[in-house]
Amino acid sequence: MKEEQYEIKKRHSSFRFPEEVEFKDLAPIFPELFDLFMDLADQYPEDSGEEYIEMLIRLNLKDLQQNQKPIGHNREARYRLIFPIDRDRVEFFIYPRIDEDESEIDMITDEVSKFLEKEGFEHEILWNEMRFLKEEKD
């Protein structure tokens, strides 16, 4: 019998931090993290880009500084940075909303991981762990 190998598609990634990490711990690095994510995902808006990005960072940073889950605010993007509600620990997902063949989820995840390591944040990366995302269809 011939053994077959199957490649598991990496649809989205999850960054999970140790239990002692709190949302407020991410506040000092969040502006640079979000900027890196938006750059890697090539998601800067063409018009009013800087103001829009600054607003997104401010809104998310306000939540983090209050030790709350940030709301995200990049819902219409090709890639989403999602902090799930139903988790006991700090984690976030990077979720592509584009065709799998076009997705660069591996590269984006790797670069975000390198940034977190450089900033001294232990984390583990899990693939395809997001079970409850319901995407609205038009």
Q: Is residue 6 part of a domain?
A: no
Beta strand 13-16 pairing with 91-96: antiparallel
Q: What is the mean pLDDT of residues 24-31?
A: 96
Is residue 31 within 8 Å of residue 57, measured between CB atoms?
yes
Split at pLDDT 50, 70, 90, the class of 119 is: very high
Domain count, the chain: 1
Range of the domain at 43: 13-127
Q: Supply the pLDDT for residue 80.
A: 86
Q: Say what the pLDDT of residue 110 is.
A: 95
Residue 132 in any domain: the answer is: no
User: How far is 53 from 34, CA to CA, in rounded Å?
Assistant: 9
* Contacts of residue 124, Cβ cutoff 8 Å, sequence gap at least 6: 15, 16
DSSP at 102: G
